[in-house]
Amino acid sequence: METDAFGIYVHWPFCQAKCPYCDFNSHVSSRIEPADWARAYRAEIARAKDELGERRVDTVFFGGGTPSLMPADLVADVIEAIRAAWPVANDFEVTLEANPTSAEAGRFRGYREAGVSRISIGLQSLDDGHLKALGRLHSAAEGVSALWMAQSVFDRVSADLIYARQNQSLEDWRHELGQALALGLDHLSLYQLTIEDGTAFGDRFRAGGLRGLPSEDLGADLYDLTQEMTGAAELPAYEISNHARAGAECRHNLIYWRGQEYLGIGPGAHGRIRIDGQWFATETHRMPGAWLSAVERDGSGELPRTALPPEERAVEYAMMSLRLAEGTELSRLPDQSLNQGKLADLVSSGHLWERDGRIGATATGRPVLNAVLAEILA
């Protein structure tokens, strides 16, 4: 059963500097006491164990913030606590997100010893000018050398790139993506720049700044080009923005998209957990200090949780799984959760495919998935 996998997300909420496009739960702080964090993470893992009981852990993902600012000992502590609580799968996957500065590359070996098996590098661009515009603290050269360092330490390395940036032409991206594909990675996350509310870019955009963003048509052309080039390089999209050689997919992220069970630990972490057959959406205090003291004082960093009735689960599952090339298992959706008429229309218009008890978005449907979802889930 696809629902059987179990992953743990660990959130490290700190960054050296906040990137202007990022709306993740990240904070800049000079007063971080690793021992406090180790104690709090351990307490939360223990609490989850008490509540969930037996599980086999397939994946752990350290996300942020910038988890590559975590001391290796702290990472080791967390992994140890997880292993102490539950047995892990044979192919246990532990991913850590890293920024490609030289200081952080120096910690890669320590992370491997701590039990990290996969590293995801926030390369973002291979162009110094664009890196600066994105507010990144590293140069393209630093990025590439951090990547080489990572490849020499880990078997599995992924990189993130942001495209559809200001004043980026189709040819610019063809060149840059070509360079990235030549780096010999087996996993790439390629995100179109999204202007989010509550970010520095969001504010500038609203004030009429941030010129040169691509039109809808150029954005679509950029997306098409990305599919074409990654396909030719045998790194096809297995999800809207994620590309991998067969077998090299990020198994942790697949848990989200396949609607499987995951635990969220750390400030602002979300989870979807199942207790006695009932699914719950969980969320923790967003602010690092609030989370820490909630864990210490109340023995839990969690906010009041909400039960997810089957129909809501179905909507979430369809919404997430249609992002995947493998699509959605129809047997996991109650009959009334999809608009069957619209579904048939979208199959005949070539936006969706349906076969072997599954539906999925086609190459035409994927770039307009939000509209597709609004149709069939309405």
Binding site for another protein (CB under 8 A): 9, 63, 191-194, 216-217, 219-220, 223, 240-241, 253, 255-256, 262, 264, 268-272, 281, 283, 312, 315-316, 319-320, 323, 346, 349, 351, 366-375, 377-378
Instruction: Tell me if the bond preceding 65 is cis, omega within 30° of 0.
Output: yes
Return the percent helix, strand and coil in the chain, to nearest 5.
45, 25, 35
Q: Which is nearer to another protein, 116 or 240 (CB)?
A: 240
Q: Which is nearer to another protein, 289 or 350 (CB)?
A: 350
Q: HSE, CB side, 13 Å, CA atoms: give it for residue 231.
A: 8
**Min CB(280)–another protein separation in Å:** 12
**Min CB(346)–another protein separation in Å:** 8
Q: Which is nearer to another protein, 32 or 377 (CB)?
A: 377
**Min CB(294)–another protein separation in Å:** 18
Q: Which is nearer to another protein, 11 or 42 (CB)?
A: 11
CA geometry: angle 369, 370, 373, nearest 5 deg: 85
Task: Tell me the C-alpha distance between 281 and 244, whole Å.
Answer: 29
**Min CB(300)–another protein separation in Å:** 18
Backbone angles phi, psi at 3, to 5 degrees: -80, -5
Q: Which is nearer to another protein, 22 or 149 (CB)?
A: 22
Helix/strand/coil for 168: coil
Q: Which is nearer to another protein, 72 or 213 (CB)?
A: 213
**Min CB(231)–another protein separation in Å:** 18
**Min CB(311)–another protein separation in Å:** 12
- Closest by Cα among 331, 308, 329 to 320: 329
Residue 57 token pair: 């852990």
Give the position of tokens 């752990």. 60
Task: Tell me the C-alpha distance between 267 and 264, whole Å.
Answer: 9
Backbone angles phi, psi at 123, to 5 degrees: -70, -45
Do 364 and 338 meet the contact criterion of CB atoms below 8 Å apart? no
CB atoms within 10 A of CB 335: 8
Q: Which is nearer to another protein, 138 or 272 (CB)?
A: 272
- Closest by Cα among 106, 95, 364 to 227: 364
Q: Which is nearer to another protein, 149 or 269 (CB)?
A: 269
Residue 265 token pair: 């630990």
**Min CB(62)–another protein separation in Å:** 13
**Min CB(328)–another protein separation in Å:** 14
CA–CA distances in Å: residue 256 to residues 163, 270, 323: 24, 11, 11
Do 350 and 362 meet the contact criterion of CB atoms below 8 Å apart? yes
Q: Which is nearer to another protein, 32 or 281 (CB)?
A: 281
Task: Tell me the C-alpha distance between 44 and 291, whole Å.
Answer: 11
Q: Which is nearer to another protein, 72 or 220 (CB)?
A: 220
**Min CB(290)–another protein separation in Å:** 17
Give the chain's end-to-end CA distance (angstroms, integer): 28
Task: Tell me the C-alpha distance between 98 and 120, whole Å.
Answer: 6
**Min CB(35)–another protein separation in Å:** 26
